[in-house]
């Protein structure tokens, strides 16, 4: 008589369902809210949850939150809101697993920002916008930013992380050096007689920022290449605040977090805007997005002692209380309450930002323009390393490649071809 094998074959469909179920468990709950007070009507937001990496499966989801603070009109902010996400996704290779998708995001964000800027400038509109663009995939947070809107994170144990970089010329020496090295001029507004007033600006054009989308009348030294930072939260969660400069001109990161502690995101965003207006008044559009990243309903590790007084209320929002002792908690879910930094790059050089450490043929399409994704015939593309003053071991025929139009954009951003006559330092400038 035959005996049954101890090892039974499990159908592939069952294994896939188990994997998807595990992926769903390993995801936080995302709760968000926003508030704003308008003066010029140039701030726009994008809030999208339950976006799908694999359309139709209902599991491989991610969320997108973005703030666009326009200047000289709202056209650039509106255009970026409508097109930036699609341009980023178009730069993502297909058929990636979850880890590969997260790894590819920083490069795709750079390509998406540059393409959005290039396409908008072709419309010959002079508006510009700052962008703070956030993608949450599982416990991984990826932020890309140009301009002076900011994104901060407070982890559940009370540590504050700055996930964006301020591109105001007044406070960013590296950007001042980059602009002058590319042929631009940095200085204050000249009122005549040698008197200079106001913040540092880039000339021609008079913009206070060194990076933005749009601003074709200012000069190509103002680049759309974003600072990108990627971190992974512990399963304790955290709170994110994205706000325009109307908030940060009035409140520090600590003040913004403290004034809304214990509040749900909608109320928290409204309170932050209220506090900012109380401090400075309504001088500019003032917008705030608050995002709480909450642990799923499962056993969690006990809280460590607070680092700072007054953090307990916040922490209680991000931990599920359990009557079990720590010795009874399933070890599978015990995790240090830390934020792991995965990626950070703020270089304005496309040859550095579009390069990749992993084989292009495995992830990114070799014979496609790395920015606008147009198909390139063999020999037609121009290497992003062409003309590099420090190529190292790279050769001009090494990819990634750009089409002629995107190569011209790259050269202009690097100051290697002129961009009009611009405007003098006696112009009114823009913020």
Question: Could you give all domains of the chain from N- to C-terminal order, each with its CATH number?
Answer: 25-163+218-296+338-345 (3.60.40.10), 168-208 (no CATH), 349-417 (no CATH)
Q: What is the pLDDT along the chain (431 residues), one digit of tens a residue?
A: 444 444 456 565 554 555 555 555 578 999 999 999 999 999 999 999 989 887 666 667 899 999 999 999 999 999 999 999 999 999 998 888 899 999 999 999 999 999 999 999 998 888 999 999 999 999 999 999 999 999 999 999 899 999 999 999 999 999 999 999 888 899 998 887 778 888 999 988 889 999 999 998 887 889 999 999 999 999 999 999 999 999 999 999 999 999 999 999 999 999 999 999 999 888 889 999 999 999 976 433 333 444 444 444 334 343 333 333 333 333 333 345 689 999 999 999 988 898 765 444 445 566 789 999 998 887 788 888 877 665 555 555 567 889 999 999 998 888 776 544 443 333 444 45
Q: How many Å apart are CA 35 and CA 288, to the nearest integer?
A: 5
- How many whole angstroms separate alpha carbon 195 and alpha carbon 120? 36
Cα R_g (the chain), whole angstroms: 24
Residues 6 or more apart whose Cβ sits within 8 Å of residue 182: 221, 413, 414, 415
For the segment 326-346, what is each residue's pLDDT rounded down to a tens digit?
A: 333 333 333 456 899 999 999
Alpha carbon dihedral 327, 328, 334, 338, in 10-degree steps, equals -60
Considering only CA atoms, which of 308, 164, 302, 317 is closest in space to residue 245? 164
**DSSP secondary structure string, 211-274?**
B-EE-TTT-TTSB-PPEEEEEE--TT-EEEEEE-HHHHTT--HHHHHHTTTT--HHHHHHHHHH
Decide if 201 contacts 431 (C-beta within 8 A).
Answer: no
Alpha-helix runs per DSSP H in 166-207: 173-181
What confidence tens digit (pLDDT) does each residue in 188-240 have? 988 877 788 889 999 888 899 999 999 988 878 899 999 999 999 999 999 99
Residues 54-77: b if buried by 16+ CB within 10 A, e if exposed: eeeeebbbbbbbbbbbbbbbbbbb
Residues 6+ apart with CB under 8 A from 152: 160, 161, 162, 163, 164, 240, 241, 253, 256, 257
SS3 assignment, position 161: strand
For residues 18 and 422, give the distance between their C-alpha atoms in angstroms, rounded to a whole number: 60
- Report in angstroms the alpha-carbon separations of 313 from 123, 159, 341: 49, 14, 26
Q: List residues bridging with 30 in a β-sheet.
A: 293
Q: Write down the pTM of the prediction.
A: 0.82
């Amino acid at each position: 008589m035959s005996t049954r094998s101890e090892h039974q074959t499990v159908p592939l469909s069952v294994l896939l369902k188990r994997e998807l179920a595990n992926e769903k468990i390993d995801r936080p709950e995302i709760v968000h809210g926003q508030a704003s007070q308008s003066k010029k009507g140039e701030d726009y937001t994008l809030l999208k949850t339950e976006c799908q990496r694999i359309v139709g499966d209902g599991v491989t989801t991610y969320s997108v939150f973005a703030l666009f603070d326009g200047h000289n009109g709202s056209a650039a902010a509106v255009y970026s809101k409508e097109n930036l996400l699609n341009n980023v996704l178009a730069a993502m290779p297909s058929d990636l697993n979850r880890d590969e998708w997260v790894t590819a995001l920083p490069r795709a964000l750079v390509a998406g920002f540059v393409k959005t800027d290039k396409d908008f400038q072709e419309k010959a509109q002079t508006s510009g916008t700052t962008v703070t663009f956030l993608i949450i995939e599982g416990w991984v947070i990826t932020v890309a930013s140009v301009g002076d809107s900011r994104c901060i994170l407070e982890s559940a144990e009370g540590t504050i992380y700055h996930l964006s970089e301020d591109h105001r010329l007044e406070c960013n020496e590296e950007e001042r050096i980059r602009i002058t090295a590319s042929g631009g001029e940095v200085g204050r507004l000249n009122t005549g007689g040698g008197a200079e007033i106001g913040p540092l600006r880039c000339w021609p054009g008079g913009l206070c920022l060194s990076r933005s989308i749009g601003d074709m009348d200012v000069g190509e030294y103002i680049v759309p290449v974003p600072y990108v930072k990627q971190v992974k939260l512990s399963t304790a969660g955290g709170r994110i605040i994205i706000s325009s400069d109307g908030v940060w001109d009035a409140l520090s990161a600590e003040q913004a977090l403290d004034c809304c502690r214990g509040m749900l995101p909608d109320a928290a965003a409204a309170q932050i805007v209220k506090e900012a207006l109380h401090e400075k008044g309504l001088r500019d559009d003032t917008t705030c997005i608050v995002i709480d990243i909450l642990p799923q309903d499962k056993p969690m590790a006990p809280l460590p002692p607070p680092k700072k007084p007054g953090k307990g209320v916040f922490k209680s929002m991000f931990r599920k209380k359990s009557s079990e002792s720590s010795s009874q908690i399933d070890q599978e879910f015990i995790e240090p309450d830390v934020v792991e930094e995965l990626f950070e790059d703020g270089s304005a050089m496309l040859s550095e930002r579009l390069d990749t450490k992993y084989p292009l043929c495995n992830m990114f399409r070799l014979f496609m323009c790395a920015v606008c994704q147009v198909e390139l015939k063999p020999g037609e593309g121009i290497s992003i390393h062409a003309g590099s003053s420090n190529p190292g071991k790279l050769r001009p025929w090494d990819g990634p490649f750009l089409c002629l139009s995107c190569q011209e954009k790259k050269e202009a951003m690097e100051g290697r071809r002129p961009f009009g006559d611009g405007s003098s330092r006696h112009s009114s400038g823009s913020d």
